[in-house]
Structure 1
Amino acid sequence: MAKVCELSGRGSMSGNKRSHANNKSRRKWEVNLQRKKIWVASEGRFVRMRISMRSLRTIGKIGYEAAVAKSAKKRGV
């Protein structure tokens, strides 16, 4: 299973780990994914998703439907 947020599409990033001696070695930053059940009022049911905590905060602030619309607009869907 890919480490990608189902709502925002946010995935892992890669870059360099830098030591005090300025040595460079490749590393990866993983997205903070959690399995959550989210209440969707329009459908009257829970939806189980694997989303990032950043997306969960957005859902908490503006609601599920608005967050889905915002991420679809951002993705160009």
Structure 2
Amino acid sequence: MSKNCIITKKKPMFGNNRSHALNATKKKFLPNLQYHKFWSEKKKRFIRIKISNKGIRTIEKKGIEFFIEKIIKKGK
């Protein structure tokens, strides 16, 4: 499964890991993704999504119904 957040569009970043001697080795910075269940009043069921920690806070502020409608409109 992808390591992308569907709400905030966060994805892995690439960079260098620097030692004290300034040796550079490649490193992958992963977003803080969690599985979370949200209750949808319209569908009367839980929706389980893989989302970043910032995305969880955004959904708690605006509501899951707002993002469900936004994703459906984007798909059309």
Per the shorter chain, which TM-score range? 0.7 to 0.9
How far apart, CA to CA, are the structure 1 residues paired with 2:38 and 2:55? 12
The count of corresponding residues between Structure 1 and Structure 2 is: 71
Structure 2: which amino acid aligns with 1:45?
R
- Which 5+ residue runs of structure 1 have no aligned equivalent? none
Indicate the residue corresponding to 1:5 in structure 2.
5
| Cα separation, 2, equivalents of 1:58 and 1:42 | 19
Aligned equivalent of 1:54: 54
Identity of aligned residues (%): 39
Q: For residue 41 of structure 1, report the CA deviation from its aligned partner.
A: 2.1
> What root-mean-square deviation, in Å, do the aligned CA atoms of Structure 1 and Structure 2 show?
2.0
Structure 1 residue identity aligned to 2:45:
R
How high is the TM-score relative to the length of structure 1?
0.74
Consecutive unaligned residues in structure 2, runs of 5 or more: none
CA distance in 2, matches of 1:10, 1:65: 21
Distance (whole Å) between structure 1 residues aligned to residue 9 and residue 43 of structure 2: 23
Q: Which residue of 2 aligns with 1:17?
A: 17
1:26-37 alignment to 2 at 5 Å? 26-37=26-37
